[in-house]
Amino acid sequence: MMKRIRQFFHAVFAEVSAEDRAFLKQNLSMEQQALFFGMSVPDQCHALRTAHTAIALAENAAAKVDLPLLTRCALLHDVGRRDGEFGVFWKCFAVLFAALSPSQAKDYGDDDGSDSVLHRKMCVYYHHADIGADMLLREGFAAEAEIVRRHHKAPAEDDPPELRILRMADEMN
């Protein structure tokens, strides 16, 4: 609950600084920056915090980590939640709906062809990993797409270290 409250305040006061922009320029290509800035500002700030946490976690990782790849994946992991499609209100609503009535929320999230607003929002909530991975794949970023697609999937034996660290960093932010 405390994490959700913290996330809410982060979302309300979100702002991307000049320092953040320099960090993005260092780590993302122009095409990747365009995808990044396609997210809402609160999601951009969440991705930046996730990237900094991931970099810190990688320093103590036992396995060898591809740090530039991890940083790009952390910055791009939620690009499937595009601005205007999933703002602060709908994010809060989806989190509450999924917590209070998980099976009903999942039914709304399933891609059954319904065109209601609630269906579309819950579809983005549950499927943004696949949506974002497909966007990255269309731009030719296959390695990033592979990790982004799996960031909400249950941990598996063959998870690369970058995916494991991304999941932890995402959970902390």
For Fe ion, the binding residues (CB under 5 A) are 78, 170
**Residue matched to tokens 């500002």:** 41
The token duo for 70 is 């991890």
- Which residue, among 159, 151, 147, has the nearest Cα to 68 in the 3D structure? 147
Which residues pair with residue 39 across a beta bridge?
82
CB contact set of 104 (below 8 Å; sequence gap of 6+) = 97
Of residues 78 and 162, the one with the C-beta less far from Fe ion: 78
To the nearest whole angstrom, how small is the minimum distance from the Cβ of residue 71 to Fe ion? Answer: 14
Of residues 162 and 170, the one with the C-beta less far from Fe ion: 170
Of residues 45 and 65, the one with the C-beta less far from Fe ion: 45
To the nearest whole angstrom, how small is the minimum distance from the Cβ of residue 50 to Fe ion? Answer: 6
To the nearest whole angstrom, how small is the minimum distance from the Cβ of residue 1 to Fe ion? Answer: 18
Of residues 48 and 58, the one with the C-beta less far from Fe ion: 48
Backbone angles phi, psi at 16, to 5 degrees: -95, 120
- Which residue, among 82, 108, 78, has the nearest Cα to 93 in the 3D structure? 108
By CB atoms closer than 10 A (0-12, 13-18, 19+), residue 51 is buried
The token duo for 108 is 């709304």
To the nearest whole angstrom, how small is the minimum distance from the Cβ of residue 119 to Fe ion? Answer: 19
Of residues 18 and 23, the one with the C-beta less far from Fe ion: 23
To the nearest whole angstrom, how small is the minimum distance from the Cβ of residue 116 to Fe ion? Answer: 23
The token duo for 142 is 């296959």
